[in-house]
Structure 1
Amino acid sequence: MIRVLVVDDSAIMRKLIVDILKEEKDIEVVDTAKNGREAIEKAKALKPDVITLDIEMPEMDGLEALKILKKEVPSAKVIMFSSLTQEGAKATIEALALGAYDFVPKPSTKSFLESVKQIKDQLIPKIKSVVPIKRISLIYRPSPVKKVLKRDNFNVLGIGVSTGGPQTLMQIIPKLPKNFPVPILIVQHMPPIFTRQLAERLDSLSQLKVKEGEQGEPVKSGVVYIAPGDFHMVVKKENEIHKIRLHQGPPRNFCRPAVDELFESIAETYDGSSVGLILTGMGSDGKEGAKKIKEQGGVILAQDAETSVVFGMPKAVIEAGLADEVLSLEQIPQRLKEIFKVQENAKRDV
């Protein structure tokens, strides 16, 4: 049983969430709380596996409560409930940076049945992904990082990431120098507004320019492009210039944006000079795209089990035999600098 504490200042939302969770045989609601202070006291006493935490609450809001919960009940995974607004998205990115496990957008529809469906479809899989990883096989452990690759020149880096992505990206992108010699394209599974807030947050922390990808813009070295929520982001070569194209084709792996769409496009447009990096996340999005990159002679890196928040996407790539290297989160920034031959002594802005 996965034990859950539900925290929301709205009695209606608390009941709605509790009723949804009670339908699941492997989930137990241990209690509810109506504000951050009450949540902290009940979490300390009950030691739940998961806490669903509203951001906007009286007495103590979700962000303040999260900071304390991470210290007092570090084993609990916190899933934030966020409004679909600029301020809500900004607070959610802050929560993820503070160590929240994931988030669920509050329903924007007035239909009760549709609201129930939206919450159930997003919340239940995220709660059920909170399962201890059995780290048995050596294949999931980090590789030696001085592996000799088949080629020595690479022209693009694609990154696919989902659950645990914001905090993981914040430990990678800010560690790359301003003179990073290739473009970086990222698919992070997130709704609209949230991807823009993530880009702005990463941009404020990094030497590299970080932005949402825009329709038709040329892809430039030293720039990080994040796929906008609800749009697939691909790269097309037009008159020898690589350009970003956005489209709203069908979701793949239940995702839009999808990692497979991005990876397949860079495999095609950059031939064998592409590197794909699969980070923490649920599901298997990225596996088919990684296969295309490998078929073209590119390289695939995967995050290890130990440092993944959810070892789904990397595991799918590793078990398919597509990963050239399995790296811990701590190894990734330095390994990227080695693969792309970053001149460490180059002048850097302060």
Structure 2
Amino acid sequence: MRIRVLIVDDSPVIRRLLREALSKEADLEVIGAARDGREAVEMVRALRPDVVTLDIEMPVMDGLTALREIRRIAPRTRVIMFSTLTEKGARETIEALSLGAFDFVTKPKGSSLTQSLQRIKEELIPKIRAAMPRTPAPRLPAPPRPPVFKPPLVRPGVYAVVGIGISTGGPKALMEVIPRLPGTFPVPVLIVQHMPPMFTTQLARSLDRLSPLRVKEAQQGEPVQKGTVYIAPGDYHMEVRASGRTKHIHLHQGPPENGCRPAVDPLFRSLAETYGGAVVGVVMTGMGHDGREGARKIKEKGGLVIAQDEKTSTVFGMPRAVIEAGLADLVLPLAEIPSKLQEIFLMRRRSI
């Protein structure tokens, strides 16, 4: 069964580009194209698409207003925002994600037709497919394998840092976790969210407004301080390095890992190297398997790994990879992650 897609954009060029790219895929069906938000809402009500690609800046009714209406009348329809790579576009996209948009892609700009089509193929089409995953065929149960690591042992008082890796569905999930950590939370929190530049800046600002903790986009060389949440800037890997007893942020533009920059694995590896067994790694909603090998390093050093459960993940890719590799000590629904982190650090005795 094909995925039914509605295209919404006020630009005839973009509408034509999207239709051409999506129509080449055997499992996708473009069922219509709307020129503004009001027309989009009417078409969603009439056609009930599986997925909507939604522009933000449009006449008559803008994308954010249309998104609210679509979420109200068709809550099962997944919406992927089509955003400009600008500060305003980033700010509005973060708002859209907090309102329940599934994901976003940035519009091709200044590219040839061939390059634009390739970008859509590489970035948008996988997200459309992730929005409507196929039901897997039943598999015969695999023979039991011995666990790679010992049974989980949560040791309050020995951990010194939290690392979070997250992707699709991340902004909304983070807004349900970070603001619920108290201002007295005694360790630093470092987050890799797969996002381009400007978008990570806006995410940090949004979380900072909502949170008792200070939330900021990380800067090269700054010291890592307790009670602060650091978000990796778009297009930079983020690591933590030690100089004597001081730990500081190291940003670099090494090759993408798992197709991402920033990526979760470099952060988790650096935390394991710098903090040893005092790391709590949290792998949350997202496509792919970024974070799995970094979680392995955390486990090898004696740290703790938490994975978000399938039911509350927008996309159960990254957590699934960690769980199936036998690396997750705890598998928790989204709502229980902040309370578990508070429980873990409630009796904390060691300082950074």
Q: TM-score range by the shorter chain?
A: over 0.9
- Runs of 4+ aligned residues of structure 1 deviating over 2 Å after TM superposition are 108-112, 131-137
- From 171, 175, 180, the equivalent of 1:170 is 175
Superposed CA RMSD: 1.7
Q: Secondary structure at the match of 1:129?
A: helix
8 Å Cα contact 1:181-1:342 kept in structure 2: no
- From 285, 289, 298, the equivalent of 2:290 is 285
Q: CA deviation at 1:150?
A: 4.8
**Residue identity matched to 1:190:** M
Q: Which residue of 2 aligns with 1:212?
A: 217
8 Å Cα contact 1:179-1:342 kept in structure 2: no
Q: Which residue of 1 aligns with 2:336?
A: 331
Pair 1:243 & 2:248 matched: yes
**Residue identity matched to 1:101:** F
8 Å Cα contact 1:180-1:342 kept in structure 2: no
CA distance in 2 between partners of 1:294 and 1:257 (Å): 22
Structure 1 133/272 Cα, relative in aligned 2: closer, same or farther at 3 Å? farther
**Residue identity matched to 1:106:** K
How much identity, in percent, do the aligned residues show? Answer: 58
Q: CA deviation at 1:131?
A: 3.0
- From 290, 306, 313, the equivalent of 2:311 is 306
8 Å Cα contact 2:299-2:305 kept in structure 1: yes
Q: Secondary structure at the match of 2:159?
A: coil
Q: CA deviation at 1:160?
A: 0.2
**Residue identity matched to 1:218:** P
- From 192, 197, 208, the equivalent of 1:192 is 197
**Residue identity matched to 2:95:** E
Aligned length: 335
TM-score for the superposition, normalised by structure 2:
0.92
Q: Which residue of 2 aligns with 1:50?
A: 51
CA distance in 1 between partners of 2:347 and 2:114 (Å): 53
CA distance in 2 between partners of 1:10 and 1:205 (Å): 35
Q: Secondary structure at the match of 2:131?
A: coil
Q: Secondary structure at the match of 1:103?
A: strand
- From 254, 265, 269, the equivalent of 2:270 is 265
Q: Secondary structure at the match of 1:331?
A: helix
Q: CA deviation at 1:109?
A: 2.5
Structure 1 134/28 Cα, relative in aligned 2: closer, same or farther at 3 Å? closer
Q: Secondary structure at the match of 1:69?
A: helix
Pair 1:38 & 2:39 matched: yes
Q: CA deviation at 1:299?
A: 0.4
Structure 1 23/132 Cα, relative in aligned 2: closer, same or farther at 3 Å? closer
**Runs of 5+ in structure 1 lacking a partner?**
138-146, 344-350
Deviation digits for residues 294-339 of structure 1 (CA, Å, limit 9, x no counterpart): 0000000000000000000000000000000000011111011001
CA distance in 2 between partners of 1:200 and 1:72 (Å): 30
TM-score for the superposition, normalised by structure 1:
0.93
CA distance in 2 between partners of 1:339 and 1:90 (Å): 33
Q: Secondary structure at the match of 1:288?
A: helix
8 Å Cα contact 2:232-2:262 kept in structure 1: yes
